[in-house]
Structure 1
Amino acid sequence: MAAVHDQENPPAAAAAVVVVVVPFLFQSHLNQALQLAHLISSYKIPVYYATSAAHCRQAKLRYNGKNTSSITHLNFIELPMPPFLSPPPNPNSTLKFPSHLQPCLDVCLELRHPTAALLRQLSSSSKRVVVINDTNMAYVTQDVATIPNAESYSFSCISAFSLHCIINQGILDEYKTNVDRIYLKPIAETVTPEILKFAAYQSPHEDLKSGDLINTCRTLERSYLDLLKDKKQWAVAPLNPVIRATDEMINNNTCLLWLDKQPRKSVLFVSFGSTTSMMDEQVKELAMGLRQSKQRFLWVFRDAERGNAFSDDNGDRKSGLPDGFEESVEGIGMVTRDWAPQVEILGHGSVGAFMSHCGWNSCMESLSMGVPIVAWPMHSEQPYNALLVTEMLKAGVAIKECDGDLVGSDLIKEAIEEMMVSDEGVIKRERAEEIGLVLRNAVEEGGATRLEMDSFVEHITR
């Protein structure tokens, strides 16, 4: 096991309460867990962020806070994890779940014993060890039950509505009547058998938790949170920074510099997260739809990431765009193949909408900045998030069914125009602005989320 403190942080005095955050290894989960760790540490509680060395590095490099120096006080614990295969994604798969990441998930179960050793070491010098584990890491943290002065809390990185749908699959027919563009399948039909087996490893250990932290805001999802409440529960979102981009945040990033030159609210930001790959034919249809819409756009054109985010060709996408496409949209559109600062982009005044796969992290970042969503869900709980955003919150439009079929440029153009230039789009954008104000107010002193976080800290330091 790695030493309790990394080289960045000298050993602190023994604390009454310490918190250990154990994230899941997908990028969006790593990021949300790091944001949560930073938030808890602002209460002057020692926080340990424990995962493999590579994933510690990945989380730190991509931290989307305004100032990365704000996380130097966290204790990053590099747990030993066996090497694993890191195959490339298969963009031609009709099932869009990132099955190429499975080797990484299989070996992450080996984090159990070094995690247990870390908890025992911390328990010997602390009044209480509080473990916050991603719901997908319950197996890894199961030994908390053997430590008398330790307690655990699950951290859910998806919306309360999606949790409700997953737990109660029979309700899907009720929601299908409300939507004509998003095809709601049981989640088992949008993921692989291997990930279902991985999830089954977690199930026997889920009851060990003393409560739930959920990445949502009570003001936004109160009714669904009430449906889920069977233990102590805290809604702690938004976790991402909610301050809009400033000159200090730009740091000469090419995307942000390009946005500086565009009219206010005129740009469609297009990004499908770190686990999505599109087949070349679909890329061409998207490119044509963007060009035909005649709307300004910023497109993050990358493949799904490998299990090792530091592979030389990680995320590279060299093919798929029509010949001459970038030249044909010069001045109107920008294509970037680099890792993009999504929070800062969404907070930029020139961004008017976000075409997204509807991962919940992306949804929360977009909504907290008051940016409506053109929803294009791919797998897992993303169709449920898309339904929540488009039908319940009325802050987006849906582009397609989550069924693996090719989406033509005409449908893509139609959805873009509906959002960017129609009267209905104006209503969606106004609604997103209202939600953004609610979410930003929630994290201020006396706001709904701040009160929930205060309550959680009071509970664990009781």
Structure 2
Amino acid sequence: MDENYTPKSDGQMSFHDAQVAVVMVPLPAQGHLNQLLHLSRLITSYKIPVHYVDATTHIRQAKFRVHDFDPLTAKNLHFHEFPMPPFENPPPNHNASHKLPSHLMPFLYATIHLHEPMCSLVRQLLGANHRRVIVIYDSLMTWVVKDVPAIPNAECYRFNSVSAIHTFSAIWEARGKPFQAGTELFEDIPSIENCAIPELWDFLNKMESLHRKVSSGELFNSSRAIEGLYLDLVAQEMNGLNLWAIGPFNPLLLTEQNKDSNKHHQTLLWLDKQEKNSVIYVSFGTTTSLSNEEIEELAIGLEKSMLKFIWVLRDADKADVFAGEERRAQLPEGYEERIKERGIIVRDWAPQLEILAHPSTGGFMSHCGWNSCMESISMGVPIAAWPMHSDQPRNSQLVTKFLKIGLIVRHWERRDELVTSEIVENSVRTLMGSPAGDEMRKRASELSVIVKQSVMDGGGKSTEMDSFIAHITR
């Protein structure tokens, strides 16, 4: 591709507004797109221009699904839509022997085509009188930015889309599991190799082999109030690289503008009519598909619990979420009619952050993806943890054993066993209607306050973010 290629952008680019510009390179998958879009929002609040780059369909996806934030009106935020060659877009296999979204692997390998236009953009920005360009890249996009350090006055910082406890535990296991403070939480989790499939490990290893040649520092969507021990342990392993815990990225106080924009969504209207802490929110993110048998057991368990719920019933995302139809999972006959007074089934996109922030929401049954964990912790909602793959087993340990703000629905070592309706019913009843659940809810609420206090200085900025900004603008 010609290095003078000009990407399709969203309007006039304010290349001359600041001495430093930031280029944001997210992995084009929802949990990654969302985290780095919110980080973009935070960085632009320092009057630093941010250039968010990705394939056209994923820029559209990021804008369409973002919570409590209108990227179209954000000052200093510019979107660059890069072309991608055709890629396979198969549906997820809900009957696979594992839960990892292996149907995305062809697309992950196609992201290498973002390399040349991204480097071209960095050179354009430097040619527009910026004295330095900072590239923040997802840890799974290292090969896209691998040549940036060779560009004078350009620097790369790796964003870790997973928790610090997962990052450290992976290092700890690779070193032979030596005893260290905090590692006792890992005692009932099998090898991290069981959390992914060989194809993904091959991809991860390709990224990791490039990392030490590329990164000038590490960023985490986390808080020392949540993961202080594990952030310190990771820092010890980074051979002198700077590390910043600059989360939570998601808004901590929802704006009136966003409340108005979502006021017609059925879930929020319904929540307005429910009692405080009376509803459990059930969602397994964008990379998990349940089998028909699992869906039936979950449905029966929620019904038998006799508690109120909102259940987002969707398959894992395809590589292009706008292409083709999704599977419409079948529920037991007459189910939606029977539960209509107590529950809502959502089959499209749900405003998760607003649901978790609503006072009627008292619990979250979750896969424990890191984005969902941070949103739930931010809003003070305890978690019924049902990890599916990747970093989720480690995250569930953090939630249940370290923070003590949740319970395990299914232990990871029993991941091949069917979660029965009885297990679902008991988990929901314990979280929502028992003294133990009340204690988890109390601790979650207290942690939410601590997290908010740790990043709010009256202007909504954190000490760690201030430190990062000072570093890149030095």
Provide, for residues 253-299 of structure 1, a one-character-per-residue CA deviation record: whole Å limited to 9, x for no partner: 11111111111110000000011000000100000110111110000
In the TM superposition, residue 77 of structure 1 has moved relative to its aligned partner by 1.0
User: In 2, Cα distance between the equivalents of 1:412 and 1:245?
Assistant: 34
Q: Which one of the candidate residues 161, 167, 170 is aligned to 1:166?
A: 170
The residue aligned with 2:149 is: 145
Provide, for residues 383-437 of structure 1, a one-character-per-residue CA deviation record: whole Å limited to 9, x for no partner: 0000000110000011002323211111111111110111100100000001111
Distance 1:43 1:401, change over 3 A: same
In the TM superposition, residue 67 of structure 1 has moved relative to its aligned partner by 3.9
Please say if residues 363 and 383 of structure 2, whose CA atoms lie closer than 8 Å, have aligned partners that are also in contact.
yes
User: In 1, Cα distance between the equivalents of 2:44 and 2:9?
Assistant: 16
1:297 matched to 2:309? The reply is yes
Distance 1:173 1:287, change over 3 A: farther
Q: TM-score, normalised by structure 1?
A: 0.94
1:221 matched to 2:237? The reply is no
2:224 maps to a residue whose letter is: R
In the TM superposition, residue 185 of structure 1 has moved relative to its aligned partner by 2.8
The residue aligned with 1:71 is: 74
1:299 maps to a residue whose letter is: W
1:32 matched to 2:42? The reply is no
1:209 matched to 2:215? The reply is yes
Q: Which one of the candidate residues 303, 313, 330 is aligned to 1:320?
A: 330
Q: Secondary structure at the match of 2:316?
A: coil
User: In 2, Cα distance between the equivalents of 1:241 and 1:253?
Assistant: 19
1:129 maps to a residue whose letter is: V
1:454 maps to a residue whose letter is: D
Unaligned runs of 5+ in 1: none
The residue aligned with 2:382 is: 372
1:189 maps to a residue whose letter is: N
CA RMSD in angstroms comes to 2.1
In the TM superposition, residue 3 of structure 1 has moved relative to its aligned partner by 2.7
The residue aligned with 1:196 is: 201
Q: Which one of the candidate residues 381, 389, 394 is aligned to 1:384?
A: 394
Provide, for residues 217-270 of structure 1, a one-character-per-residue CA deviation record: whole Å limited to 9, x for no partner: 012211111111121011011110112475425330111111111111100000
More displaced, 152-161 or 186-195?
186-195
User: In 1, Cα distance between the equivalents of 2:232 and 2:139?
Assistant: 19
In the TM superposition, residue 110 of structure 1 has moved relative to its aligned partner by 1.8
2:113 maps to a residue whose letter is: E
More displaced, 96-105 or 112-121?
112-121
Unaligned runs of 5+ in 2: none
The residue aligned with 2:100 is: 97
1:285 matched to 2:285? The reply is no
User: In 1, Cα distance between the equivalents of 2:278 and 2:253?
Assistant: 20
Q: Which one of the candidate residues 251, 273, 276 is aligned to 1:264?
A: 276
Q: TM-score, normalised by structure 2?
A: 0.92
Q: Which one of the candidate residues 186, 191, 194 is aligned to 2:191?
A: 186
The residue aligned with 2:451 is: 439
User: In 2, Cα distance between the equivalents of 1:387 and 1:276?
Assistant: 19
Q: Secondary structure at the match of 2:319?
A: coil
In the TM superposition, residue 157 of structure 1 has moved relative to its aligned partner by 1.3
2:209 maps to a residue whose letter is: P
2:234 maps to a residue whose letter is: L
Q: Secondary structure at the match of 2:393?
A: helix
Percent identical pairs in the alignment equals 43
User: In 2, Cα distance between the equivalents of 1:452 and 1:55?
Assistant: 29
Q: Secondary structure at the match of 2:329?
A: coil
User: In 1, Cα distance between the equivalents of 2:178 and 2:252?
Assistant: 33
Q: Secondary structure at the match of 2:155?
A: strand
In the TM superposition, residue 186 of structure 1 has moved relative to its aligned partner by 2.4
User: In 1, Cα distance between the equivalents of 2:113 and 2:69?
Assistant: 34
In the TM superposition, residue 15 of structure 1 has moved relative to its aligned partner by 3.3
